[in-house]
Structure 1
Amino acid sequence: MQSKNKFISGILIGILGIVLFSSKAVMVKLAYQYQVDALTLLLLRMLFSFPFYVAIALIYSRKQNPQVVVKSDYYWLLVFGVVGYYLASYFDFVGLVYIKASLERIILFLYPTIIIVFNRLFFKKPINPTQALAIFLTYIGIVITFWGEVVISGNDTYIGGLFILLCAIAYASYIVGSGWLIPKFGVVKFTSYVMIVSCFAVFVHFGLFSKVDIFNLHWEVYLLGFLIAIFATVIPSFLVSESINRINSSNFAVIAGFGPISTIILAGIFLNEVLTLLQLFGALVVIFGILLVSLKKKN
């Protein structure tokens, strides 16, 4: 009975984390209505997130690492902090300047298939027929959804789509490359460390290339930056980790299919975004393709 309750609570925690993560794109689009650029908004996200990750890192710093950590592990942690949460986040925020929040989440949902391709290229892991079918379906779904948006919104969709695809590639690289580091540091400590690294990367980027007066923005931008940091970054990052801990990564991958759906719903409510029936069909094809991979792993 206790095991069943743990599994159910893990599912509910995972769904909550997914919905909160999905709200990020919607809040970013809302912030863009106040003439703020992508880098400034990303800076606010990291500024508000930074104290929480530092506090958590300090709390867990005294906890012994599950495995032996050598100096090179810290170098790799720096690399994955830059790739996984700085570059991926920057590409994501820039892409959202050009495309709908709902389309962003659908394209980002490709990252599991990108992971499969990376594992084949770099670790020589074979792609089985189910995975090949899943990859084919997801990219067909993206083409259907993307083409429908180009017809509606024009060529800017190509620019936005490219940046979101780069985001998915960066995030997939982070997942593939950092998988061996997480057991060494532990989930909470590793997440805190890489987020701190990404925060510093954003601070440096903003300091070198932006001339925006960070103290002279609309109050709504500060509020949305805070909400993105806390409710779409800090809280869901640990909710997802706890969900994976309770129900395992394979089961979590199945419920992750709720992400694009929740974004479409939230974007419809708060941004009045509407996908055509053809685009909704394409989104369902993408979700089905990812679930095909996830269910295969589970079995």
Structure 2
Amino acid sequence: MTQPEPVTTATSIPRPAFVAGLAIAIGGAVLFSTKAVVAKLLYRYHIDAVTLIAFRMLFSLPVFAGVALWKMRTEAPLSPADRWRLVGLGLVGYYLSSYLDFLGLQFISVGLERLILFLTPTFVLVITATFFKRRIGAAEWGALGLSYCGIVLVFLHDLSGGQAGNTALGALFVLGSAVCYALYLLGTGEMVRRIGSLRLVAYAMCVSSVACLAQFFILRPVELLVQPLPVYGLSLVNGVFCTILPVFMTMAAVGRIGAATASQAGMIGPVSTLFLGFLVLGEPVTTVQLAGTGLVLAGIALLSLKK
């Protein structure tokens, strides 16, 4: 059985190692956030979410499958119960969550998408309070209020600048994505301690990849695998730089500086997405968006400090 990973704090490691770990965490957060921008570029070639996510997993599956096979050969077999849990976690956390996210990106800006996804810790808190009867303190209520005020601010801003129905639909899809990922996080807590994060992620990503590819071949003609060359290039970027690298960079950062600090560094994600959307896609960066982003980040920071 895999032993629990030791707790790492900012004061327990040398400064150069801490700075390196922080840089890795920030890089991983920026790369992971870039997937929204890449998805928007892919949609310009008139592909849909089913095709987009299939190509993403097609390019990332070989790496995760290689890690999964290595873990299967070097570690004890999983129990049947753990295997079924991993199937469920892979389907909810990486397949359904990613699919809903890419569906939503067809209708909303990358800035709003990233902010909604960034509410995942608040959904974890609400689900825990609702189903596990955990009391929410005054500071946590304040953090939730700040975060959701920020989302409402950016949402109303986007409503005024586009089609209200499409914006609302896209926001609901991404909201569903965030809830699915919150359920995944709640389900992985005990398993990470028992089988290790690398093994869990590799197995779950393999399950997700199989589901995404099966969905494509069931719902779409095989001829759609033939796409313009830029679609393959952008899908390669999506699979390698926006999926594989962020996963391993985040895990490396957690190993160096601890989960709490790595999570704090991840707050750069919504900000980087906002400005990448401006630079690459031409999406405007307004005062209202910056104010809403600031409220969301402040709320998540309060939740993290409280935790």
Same topology, TM > 0.5: yes
More divergent stretch after superposition (174-183 vs 203-212): 203-212
Aligned residues: 295
Structure 1 residue 5, shift from structure 2 partner:
2.4
The residue number in structure 2 matching 1:13 is 24
Write the distance in 2 (CA, Å) between the matches of 1:283 and 1:45: 28
1:162 to 150, 172, 193: 172
Write the distance in 2 (CA, Å) between the matches of 1:289 and 1:225: 33
Which secondary structure state, in structure 2, belongs to the residue aligned with residue 214 of structure 1? helix
Q: Deviations over 1:235-263 (max 9, x none)?
A: 11010011112211111221111110011
2:293 to 278, 283, 293: 283
Which secondary structure state, in structure 1, belongs to the residue aligned with residue 223 of structure 2? coil
Which secondary structure state, in structure 2, belongs to the residue aligned with residue 62 of structure 1? helix
Structure 1 residue 61, shift from structure 2 partner:
2.2
The residue number in structure 2 matching 1:235 is 245
Q: Deviations over 1:100-133 (max 9, x none)?
A: 1111101111101001011112222221211111
The residue number in structure 1 matching 2:256 is 246
Structure 1 residues 160 and 236: alpha-carbon distance in aligned structure 2, compared to 1, 3 A threshold:
same
Write the distance in 2 (CA, Å) between the matches of 1:33 and 1:277: 27
Structure 1 residues 229 and 121: alpha-carbon distance in aligned structure 2, compared to 1, 3 A threshold:
same
Which secondary structure state, in structure 1, belongs to the residue aligned with residue 172 of structure 2? helix
The residue number in structure 1 matching 2:280 is 270
Write the distance in 2 (CA, Å) between the matches of 1:35 and 1:127: 45
Which secondary structure state, in structure 1, belongs to the residue aligned with residue 221 of structure 2? coil
Q: Specify every segment of 5 or more residues in structure 1 that has no aligned partner in the other structure, as ranges.
A: none
Q: Deviations over 1:193-250 (max 9, x none)?
A: 0000001111221122123623321111111111000000011101001111221111
Write the distance in 2 (CA, Å) between the matches of 1:233 and 1:215: 20
How do residues 45-194 of structure 1 correspond to structure 2 at under 5 angstroms?
45-64=56-75, 69-155=78-164, 156-194=166-204
2:35 to 10, 15, 24: 24
Structure 1 position 222 matched with structure 2 position 232: yes
Matched-pair contact (CA < 8 Å) for 1:40–1:212: no
Write the distance in 2 (CA, Å) between the matches of 1:64 and 1:54: 15
Which secondary structure state, in structure 2, belongs to the residue aligned with residue 181 of structure 1? helix
Matched-pair contact (CA < 8 Å) for 2:275–2:285: no
Computed over aligned residues only, the root mean square deviation of the Cα atoms, in angstroms, reads: 1.5
Give the alignment's TM-score, normalised by structure 2: 0.93
Structure 1 residue 157, shift from structure 2 partner:
0.5
Write the distance in 1 (CA, Å) between the matches of 2:21 and 2:140: 26
The residue number in structure 2 matching 1:260 is 270
The residue number in structure 1 matching 2:3 is none
Which secondary structure state, in structure 2, belongs to the residue aligned with residue 153 of structure 1? coil
More divergent stretch after superposition (269-278 vs 91-100): 269-278
Write the distance in 1 (CA, Å) between the matches of 2:197 and 2:270: 25
Structure 1 residue 20, shift from structure 2 partner:
0.5
Matched-pair contact (CA < 8 Å) for 1:146–1:279: no
Write the distance in 1 (CA, Å) between the matches of 2:167 and 2:264: 29
2:207 to 188, 197, 212: 197
1:34 to 25, 40, 45: 45
Question: What percentage of aligned pairs have identical amino acids?
Answer: 38
Matched-pair contact (CA < 8 Å) for 1:87–1:170: yes
Structure 1 residue 69, shift from structure 2 partner:
4.5
More divergent stretch after superposition (250-259 vs 71-80): 250-259
More divergent stretch after superposition (143-152 vs 178-187): 178-187
Matched-pair contact (CA < 8 Å) for 1:254–1:295: no
Q: Which letter maps to 1:62?
A: R
